[in-house]
Structure 1
Amino acid sequence: MKPDDLSLKLTEVQNDGHRTSYKRFRRRIIQKSSREGPAASTPLSTGRQYEPDFEFDSVCQRLELDSPQRHHEPAPRGLHRNQDSASSEVTLAGVGSHCSTGTTQIMHARRQPITENTPKQGWVWTAAVHEHGNAQEWKSGSDDNITNDLQPFAILNKASVTVQGKSVMKLAAPSLLNDYYSNLLDCSCNGMIALALGSSVYLWNSETRALVGYLNLSQQLGRPCHQTLSSISSLCWSTDGRALCIGTRRGDLQVNLWDVEQKQNMSCLTSHLSVVSALSWKQHLVSSGSVLGHIHHHDPRAPTPLVGAAVQQEGLCSLQWSPGNDWLASGSTDGLLRIWDSDITGSHQPITIMKQPSAVKAMGWCPWQRKMIATGGGWKDRELRIWDTQSGTCVTSADTNSQICSLRWEEKKCRLVTGHGLPQHHVICWDWVLSSLSPSYHLTGHSDRVLHLALNPDGTQIFSAGADQCLHIWHM
């Protein structure tokens, strides 16, 4: 062999050796990663699991935002923006019907409230400071400039003349969570509006149209409070307007006594180990539902506040006691509407179960026909229905051609109000006469889906909060 040929051969062997070394190095890295396993499959406690971002763009509304839960592994962080709210809720739940047997047993063993190792928290009241000219008023057409720098309830637009179908006032609601399954707006019997923005609850007087102040979650032991995990998922005023119940995304249930002079906390309960998705009062009792399907009944006055419980297989997205406190209705993510009796310490089997094609998120008992209840369908369904809870049958329905996100009854005018998503993002007032539903008003002004509705005590005003981070006031 010639020297030149020998040199060329050695060079090829050396190059092959380098290539072999790289392949071997790459193979070892892959094998090591596969042995360790992905972090997403590690079973985590539900109350402390990673919280996804719920800021969806408008295109995602056409996805299955109200579909039942799916059996799949939590997606990486970069995929959460393209998922629907239902799958995000599954990620929040983390475990449940599709977790391993061992993890399920551990979770059931931890169902009781845990208080020993939980940092003490409390809600700090901050009164609003009203200075001359501090209200920020925006002219019509400046909606594109809305940012989170705006103060809550800052005036964005005020109508000089009341026009049918147009809001009389538009207020800022910065950082309002764009989540189909949350319940973040309520009006008390005294006309006090409670609106949850992030981890704070703002109180606004609908009669004086002034911001009263806000409640903010604080950590009393000096530990930093995670902003996303402590964000509010639901709130509800008591029937007398003195107590405000607040549920958070990490499962804490906060009951705050609304006292004009004292403004003090009544109780702090660590009740659920998952997102508190719905709340409802029955006199002095407050009922809460979680995305894992647990219903807890609390008496804040008792030494042991948890006085009753019930379980269903599917996650809850709505919960409401009937006007006479005779029945409790719970709506699930897979379209089941359950009616429970008033015995919170009994066997707790539902007395009636009804089914619709999509999640039962928008739901409300009829105030003047107390055995009737209305439900709204999501993007797959888009149907407004009124059910007879005794027979379990649908007595009437109407196709709305849009996602129904929220629903309220107006007793004095005998009307039903619904808030919608795509395609128009509007509010509809319905007249229910005999066995027919007919729309009487179409209220337009939101640029994104209307997530929450509330009515003032005399039924003359509608408050609607949308994913466009605006709060509209409408005259009936």
Structure 2
Amino acid sequence: MREMFRDFVGKQRQCPFKGVSDAHHMSYKRFRRRIIQRSSREGPAVSTPLATEWQCELSFEFDTVCQRLELDSPPRHREPVQTVLQGNPPETALEEGMSHCGAVKTQSTPPTISARRRPVENPPEQGLVWRAAEQEHSSEQQTGSDEGRHDLQPFAILDKAAVSLQGKTVMKLAAPSLLNDYYTNVLDCSCNGVIALALGSSVYLWNSETRALAGRLDPNQQTGQPHRQSVSSLRWSRDGRALCIGTRRGEIQLWDVEKKQNMRCLPSHLSVVRALSWKQQLLSSGSVLGRIHHLDPRAPAPLVGAAIQKEAICSLQWSPGDDRLASGSADGLLHIWDSDVAGVTRSKQPITTMKQPSAVKAMGWCPWQGKMITTGGGWKDREMRIWDTQSGTCVTSANTNSQICSLRWAERKRYLVTGHGLPHHQVSTWEFPSLNPVHKLTGHSHRVLHLALNPDGTQIFSAGADQRFHIWDL
């Protein structure tokens, strides 16, 4: 700065108008001295709106904070950073203009600067690619204690045929990079016994019958981007052939696992895809902005219906008879919708709404009583409730004395299976409808975020925030 000032003074002295230059020179020195003195006392003396307008803003990958949450308090402070188009609520652009993958109709009003900076969806090359199971992976699956290792491969065996305190056999496997995020839904078992588990940005497929890794879906690395988008939800189709994957960027990818091909990329949401559910060939998805989209992957324009709720969605599930859709919100509301999904409308209202004190993330319809649904409360509530969705009343409840992170039905034994967080970090089974406890399966050292059952209901699969995957014999 001193060199620039000397150069400025030299140029002023060469000016033929000496008096003018001296006066200008002296006034500049006084002005410069005052600016420096004021900035040292009060901070920057001059600010421009351009500096704040073009500062780096939060993007869709804001969930690194959520991944570190120890409890299930909803991330309310992150809602305002989502894209808002002029004259339309968030995600309305896709609801009104989506035709096929990679194409959105032009809006009648131009988007704001913030909307123009953020891409609506990922380019196709940023999707997932199929990779076969590595040959050396089998040699690393050795029994024994590997708790101290930090380079464990996914589904590497840590402890085989161990016995828990309740006498139930259990196999412990590694699940590195599993996100400690209460609101994700990243574990599911197909009707063929194939486990799909998302670990960070990748999805691993593991055959529970052969106990072998079938393959994985990894982000395409050709773009060279160091920061990848992680998977936030996944769900098998009912026939076990297609795997649907939702990301934090709002993408939905549909994979034919038998052919190892990406069937379709569905641009659905402008926010995190938190939950997915199938109704025959129809796919329903729910986002953090409260949008429910109904998609038909067979149609040229896949969006066939939509509904909107004010609260963030953290669970979504069609009833066994496909006549009711349940959506759980982060604000503790359980909405029940009818089966009419046609049309994109904001006026559609749920037929029943029920309220509990904490987020409705753990949720499941009763397989043999289609009007009954069970929900689990978070750490502020810790209550398990069975609801009659016709009357909107709670039939029975039980205090589990622990945060409920996940919930599944074991239809063969007519049990309820729950995964718990603080303070016990266990898997529990309950009789229906009395809700009397049957088993308490211990072994996880942190909260049990996800649960799944094998097709015949004889085994429980659990994935915890301790980055361990357990198999329990029911």
* Cα shift at 1:52: 2.9
Match of 2:245 in 1: 246
* Cα shift at 1:205: 0.3
Asked whether the 8 Å contact 1:294–1:312 carries over to 2, the reply is: yes
Which amino acid is 1:474 matched to? W
Match of 1:156 in 2: 158
Task: Give ranges in structure 2 of 5+ residues lacking alignment.
Answer: 1-31, 104-118
* Distance in 2 (alpha carbons) for counterparts of 1:265 and 1:34: 47
SS at structure 2 position matched to 1:168: strand
Task: Give ranges in structure 1 of 5+ residues lacking alignment.
Answer: 1-17, 68-85
1:3-41 deviation line (CA, Å, top 9, x unaligned): xxxxxxxxxxxxxxx997754123564344586676799
SS at structure 2 position matched to 1:273: coil
> Structure 1: which 4+ aligned runs deviate by more than 6 Å?
18-21, 39-44
Match of 2:317 in 1: 320
* Distance in 2 (alpha carbons) for counterparts of 1:109 and 1:286: 20
C-alpha distance 134-160 of structure 1, shift in aligned 2 (>3 A): same
| TM-score scaled by length of structure 1 | 0.81
| 1:31-430 to 2 correspondences below 5 Å | 31-32=45-46, 48=60, 50-56=62-68, 61=70, 65-67=71-73, 86-87=74-75, 90-91=77-78, 94-95=81-82, 102=86, 105=89, 108-109=92-93, 111=95, 112-113=97-98, 115-116=102-103, 118-121=122-125, 122-130=127-135, 134-140=139-145, 142-143=146-147, 145-147=148-150, 149-159=151-161, 164=166, 166-218=168-220, 222-225=222-225, 227-228=227-228, 230-259=229-258, 262-345=259-342, 348-430=348-430
Which amino acid is 2:329 matched to? S
* Distance in 1 (alpha carbons) for counterparts of 2:307 and 2:429: 34
Match of 2:439 in 1: 441
1:348-387 deviation line (CA, Å, top 9, x unaligned): 3211000000000000000011100000000110000000
* Distance in 1 (alpha carbons) for counterparts of 2:90 and 2:186: 31
Which amino acid is 1:135 matched to? E
Asked whether the 8 Å contact 2:203–2:216 carries over to 1, the reply is: yes
Which amino acid is 1:475 matched to? D
C-alpha distance 155-282 of structure 1, shift in aligned 2 (>3 A): same
Which amino acid is 1:218 matched to? N
SS at structure 1 position matched to 2:246: strand
* Cα shift at 1:216: 1.4
* Cα shift at 1:264: 1.1
* Cα shift at 1:124: 1.5
SS at structure 1 position matched to 2:249: coil
User: RMSD across aligned C-alpha pairs, in angstroms?
Assistant: 2.8
* Cα shift at 1:200: 0.8
C-alpha distance 41-389 of structure 1, shift in aligned 2 (>3 A): farther
C-alpha distance 49-437 of structure 1, shift in aligned 2 (>3 A): closer
Which amino acid is 1:424 matched to? H
* Cα shift at 1:135: 3.1
Asked whether the 8 Å contact 2:38–2:45 carries over to 1, the reply is: no
Which amino acid is 1:232 matched to? V
* Distance in 2 (alpha carbons) for counterparts of 1:93 and 1:475: 45
Percent of pairs identical after alignment? 63
* Cα shift at 1:173: 0.3
Which amino acid is 2:232 matched to? S
C-alpha distance 405-162 of structure 1, shift in aligned 2 (>3 A): closer
Match of 1:468 in 2: 466
* Distance in 2 (alpha carbons) for counterparts of 1:234 and 1:23: 55
* Distance in 1 (alpha carbons) for counterparts of 2:291 and 2:282: 16
C-alpha distance 302-226 of structure 1, shift in aligned 2 (>3 A): farther
Instruction: Count matched residues.
Output: 420
Asked whether the 8 Å contact 2:242–2:257 carries over to 1, the reply is: yes
* Distance in 2 (alpha carbons) for counterparts of 1:109 and 1:20: 51
| TM-score scaled by length of structure 2 | 0.82
C-alpha distance 50-405 of structure 1, shift in aligned 2 (>3 A): closer
* Distance in 1 (alpha carbons) for counterparts of 2:128 and 2:158: 29
Which amino acid is 1:124 matched to? V
1:62-118 deviation line (CA, Å, top 9, x unaligned): xxx333xxxxxxxxxxxxxxxxxx22x65266248xx8x958657634554472575
SS at structure 2 position matched to 1:24: helix
Asked whether the 8 Å contact 1:274–1:292 carries over to 2, the reply is: yes
Asked whether the 8 Å contact 1:92–1:274 carries over to 2, the reply is: no
SS at structure 1 position matched to 2:44: helix
C-alpha distance 309-132 of structure 1, shift in aligned 2 (>3 A): closer
* Cα shift at 1:165: 5.1
Asked whether the 8 Å contact 1:50–1:92 carries over to 2, the reply is: no
Which amino acid is 1:134 matched to? S
Which amino acid is 2:338 matched to? D
* Distance in 2 (alpha carbons) for counterparts of 1:34 and 1:468: 47
Asked whether the 8 Å contact 1:450–1:467 carries over to 2, the reply is: yes
Match of 1:3 in 2: none
* Cα shift at 1:139: 2.3
SS at structure 2 position matched to 1:26: helix
* Distance in 2 (alpha carbons) for counterparts of 1:40 and 1:166: 58
Which amino acid is 2:123 matched to? P
* Cα shift at 1:158: 1.1
* Cα shift at 1:454: 0.2
Asked whether the 8 Å contact 2:94–2:268 carries over to 1, the reply is: no
